Structure 1
Amino acid sequence: MTGRNAFDFDTSEIRSLSRHLARVVPQARRDTRAVMMRGALNIKRDWAKNARASAPKHAPAYPRAIGFDLLAFGPDQLLATIGPDKRMPQGALGNLLEYGSVKNGPHNDGGRALATEIPAFEAQMALIQQRGLTWW
């Protein structure tokens, strides 16, 4: 082994992986956004449904105050904020109804909605990951 080319490397699998990632990363980003949007919408709907069933008679508008926002921090970071909008009628009651007070117990409407959605969300994210890692 003399000279500059003493070692030969087969880089075909690296090139194949590179092409695969160039295809799947943009798709994984789109799929992740869709899963986040669907999960946030499901939690919002379940939270409102739970609130309609458990809200006290003096807070009939509270379930309609529940909404969500999906925020993006660059191409790979998403954040869903879900809960009552304090600008909506009775939205400011959210903390009291969700977490309770000295005189009233917590309803945990949002917590129950989140717990219901987590298994489906995790399963969908695992599928996205699996598709991204399968490249041969």
Structure 2
Amino acid sequence: MTVIVTGAQESAAALLRSVAMLERNSGTAVAVTAGKVKRSAQQRISGHPYLPAYPYSITSTVTRGPMGAEAEIGPDKGRRQGPLGNIIEYGTVNNAPIPHLGPALDENADDLIHGIEIAVLQAFR
């Protein structure tokens, strides 16, 4: 029995292009959603009389690598009032919590899912 396979090299090349496109576009989806989460968290905590600088300490950093993309969103401890992040979000025995990061993430979860769906469809159509 003889089996002749044609187009295998072309198919492999197309698959590699699709994987590269998926990596790039999923990273874009993560970056866009991270920006939305950051802005939402900043807006949720803005205007607090004792925390005028805290919203400006909230940053987002996106890291892309061979295993995908990830975002870190939250207060930068090196910025003014940034070290107060955990106390503000979760509260203490003496201070009630002011949730702003968790709700911002929840608010934008569907946006990330939608962005990843678009990335997959674009890569493998």
Other-structure match for 1:3: none
Distance, in Å, in 1 between the alignment partners of 2:93 and 2:11 is 58
Partner of 1:133: 124
**Structure 1 CA distance, aligned partners of 2:88 and 2:18?**
43
Question: How large is the Cα RMSD of the aligned pairs?
Answer: 1.8
Mind listing any 5+ residue stretches in structure 1 that lack a counterpart?
A: 1-5
Name the amino acid aligned to 1:8: V
2: distance between equivalents of 1:60 and 1:22?
Answer: 49
Report the identity percentage.
28
Shift in Å at residue 113 of structure 1? 0.7
Which residue pairs with 1:99 in the alignment?
90
Q: Counterpart of 1:106 in 2: which secondary structure?
A: coil
Secondary structure at the residue paired with 2:103? helix
AA aligned to 1:76 is: M
CA distance in 2, matches of 1:48, 1:79: 20
Please give the TM-score of this superposition, normalised by the length of structure 2. 0.87
Q: Output aligned runs, 1:98-117, within 5 Å.
A: 98-117=89-108
- Number of residue pairs matched by the alignment: 125
Superimposed CA distance per residue, residues 48-67 of structure 1 (whole angstroms, 9 cap, x where no aligned partner): 000115x3x22111111100
After TM superposition, the score normalised by the length of structure 1 is 0.81
Q: Distance in 2 between matches of 1:129 and 1:27?
A: 9
Q: Pick 1 or 2: higher relative contact order, CA cutoff 8 A, min separation 6.
A: 2
Gaps in structure 2 of 5+ consecutive residues = none
- Aligned with 1:10 (options 5, 26, 32): 5
Please list every run of at least 4 consecutive aligned residues from structure 1 whose deviation after the TM superposition is greater than 4 angstroms. Answer: none
Residue 104 of structure 1 deviates from its aligned partner by: 2.0
Residue 26 of structure 2 corresponds to residue 26 of structure 1: no
Deviation at 1:7, TM superposition (A): 2.4
SS at match of 2:73: strand
